[in-house]
Amino acid sequence: MRCERARTVRFAGAVALAGFAALAAACGGSNDPTTVTVPTGTVSTETFMGTLNPPVNGALQTNVHPFTVTTAGGSINVTLVTAGPPATIQLGLALGNPSSTGTCSIIPGFAQQASAGSTAQLSGSGAPAGAYCLVVGDVGNVLQPVSYTVTVAHT
C-alpha cells in the first residue's frame, strides 16, 4: 500500500486537547486486550505512516489518512504500532468521515489518546460500507518531529 501523508489540518491547541479528551472519555473503550473486537470475515489491513511536526503558530498538527470499508456491518480496529521519539509519546487517534471541505469529520465517541502498542487502541463494529478517515494528531506533547505507523484492520 502506498504510504501517504495527507493534508495537515490545524486545530487550536486548547480545542484539540479538549476535543480528544472529551471524545476519548465518551468512547467508553477499554485498553484491556481481552475486550478488543477482533474482525471476522475477510480482513483488509491498511498501513499508514507519517510524521507529526511541532505546533505551528500555536496550532497542534494532525495528519488525515483516508480508507474505504467495502463490506457493511464489519469492524474497524486501529492500532498505533510505533511512534517516536520518544517511544512513550501519546498521540491522538480518531475515526471519521471525509467532509466536503477536505477535512475529516470525527465520528462522536471514536477518538482515543494512545501510546504505541500491539493491540488495537480504537475499535468499533457494525461499520457501514463507505469512505472513512483516520486522524493522527498531536495532543500537546509533540516537541520535535514524531514518526508513526498505524494499522487499520477492517472487514
Q: How far apart are CA 62 and CA 6, in angstroms?
A: 9
8-154: CATH topology is Jelly Rolls (2.60.120)
Distances from the Cα of 119 to the Cα of 1, 35, 37, 106, 137, angstroms? 21, 10, 10, 22, 19
Each residue's pLDDT expressed in tens, for the chain with a length of 155 residues: 333 333 333 332 333 433 443 333 333 334 444 444 554 568 899 999 999 999 999 999 999 999 999 889 989 999 999 999 999 999 999 999 999 888 999 999 999 999 999 999 999 999 999 999 999 999 999 999 999 999 999 98
pTM: 0.74
Q: Quick one: pLDDT at residue 42? A: 84
How far apart are the C-alpha atoms of 91 and 12, rounded to whole Å?
A: 16
Report the alpha-carbon distance of residue 96 to residue 108 in Å, rounded.
8
pLDDT at 10: 30
Return d(Cα 22, Cα 108) in angstroms, integer.
10
Instruction: List the Cα angle 21/45/139 in 5-degree steps.
Output: 20
Cα–Cα distance measured from residue 44 to residue 21, given in angstroms and rounded to the nearest whole number: 29
Cα torsion for 68, 72, 75, 80, to the nearest 10°? 10
Amino acid identity at 24:
A
Whole-number pLDDT of residue 102 = 83
The closest of 48, 43, 28 to 124, measured between CA atoms, is: 28
The domain spans of the chain are 8-154
Strands annotated E in the chain: 8-12, 44-52, 59-69, 74-84, 90-98, 104-115, 122-127, 130-137, 146-154
